[in-house]
Structure 1
Amino acid sequence: MTLLYVLLGLALIILALSFTSFEINEKVEIVAPIEKVWSTIIDFESYSKWNSQLEYLGGQVKPNGILHLRLAAEGTKPYEFKPLVSQWEEHKRFAWLAKTGLPRIFDGEHFFELEPIDENTTLVTNREEYRGVLSLIMKNQPMMKAAPKGFIKMNRELKSHLEQLS
Structure 2
Amino acid sequence: MASATQIAILFAGALCLLSLPGGAQSNAAATKFSVEGDVYCEVCRTNFINKLSQPMAGATVRLQCKGETEGNITYSLEGITDDKGQYHLTVEGDHGEDECEITLVRSSRPDCNVVPDEGWATKPTSRITLTKNSGFHDNTRKANPLGFTKKKADPQCAQLFKELEINPEEL
Indicate the structure with greater strand content: 1
- Normalised by the length of structure 2, the TM-score is 0.33
> Which protein is richer in helix relative to its size?
1
Structure number with bigger Rg: 2
The structure showing larger relative contact order (alpha-carbon pairs under 8 Å, at least 6 residues apart) is 1
